Amino acid sequence: MGINILWDQQAPGGIELPVVRMIAMILGRDPGLVEYPFLIDGYDRNRDQHDAQKILDRLQDTLKRRYDIPGPLLLVTSKDLYVNGCDFVFGLARPACGVAVVSTARLENDYYGRTPDDTDLIDRAAKEGAHELGHLIGLDHCGNPECVMFRPRTLDELDRKRKMLCPACRETLASWEER
């Protein structure tokens, strides 16, 4: 069951391949890369953000149900995301349906008034992409602050994570694969 990564046309261009390669390295899977053919749903004018749940609804209803695309799907978008009760989220996964979304909005140095750097952006997008896909292939959050499955609340916590799964998460993944 192959993983597919959908790239929003407005998400930063030119970093797709390095991000996909790094995700492949982290998870030990080889994801496909497809351009996302729709506009991004769930815009909230008051917040100037997009509702991540509505984006997942669209992935689930249209791509999973109507087009019957098998395997985990991850959308990468430049839109800033929220869920009810949270100021923002870096990403969101719905494991029961095999769909997830990641936003690059708060992964760019510009957002924090720092000097733009594609390497930082690629690392962060790959870590967050691998994290959400990790949920879709059976992993929960991990307490190890260096593990990709650790849940970061800030950019610094995200940067502290390494581009890998910790041994415990790797073992969990392997046990899923044996089934």
Collapsing DSSP to helix, strand or coil, 91 comes out as strand
Interface with Zn ion (CB under 5 A), residue from 125, 126, 149, 173: 149
Interface with Zn ion (CB under 5 A), residue from 103, 169, 172, 173: 169
Structure tokens belonging to residue 111: 């957002």
- Selected range binding Zn ion among 19-27, 30-38, 120-128, 169-177, rule: CB under 5 A: 169-177
> Whole-number minimum distance, CB 75 to Zn ion, in Å?
15
CB 105 within 8 A of CB 79: yes
CA distance 47 to 161: 29
40 binds Zn ion (CB under 5 A): no
The region, left, alpha or beta by phi > 0 then psi within -120 to 50, assigned to residue 34 is beta
CB 172 within 8 A of CB 138: yes
* Residue with Cβ nearer Zn ion (122 or 148): 148
Count of residues near Zn ion by CB under 5 A: 7
> Whole-number minimum distance, CB 39 to Zn ion, in Å?
26
Which residues pair with residue 74 across a beta bridge?
5, 100
Structure tokens belonging to residue 173: 């993944």
> Whole-number minimum distance, CB 170 to Zn ion, in Å?
8
132 included as an active-site residue: yes
Tell me which of 132, 146, 157, 171 is the catalytic residue: 132
DSSP run (H or E) holding 88: none
Q: Which of 36, 111, 99, 89 is nearest to 65 (CA)?
A: 99
147 binds Zn ion (CB under 5 A): yes
> Whole-number minimum distance, CB 175 to Zn ion, in Å?
14
Q: Which of residues 91-110 bind Zn ion (CB under 5 A)?
A: none
69 binds Zn ion (CB under 5 A): no
* Residue with Cβ nearer Zn ion (31 or 129): 129
CA distance 97 to 65: 10
Structure tokens belonging to residue 179: 């089934």
Could you list the active site residues?
A: 132
Q: Which residues of this chain interact with Zn ion, rule CB under 5 A?
A: 142, 144, 147, 149, 151, 166, 169
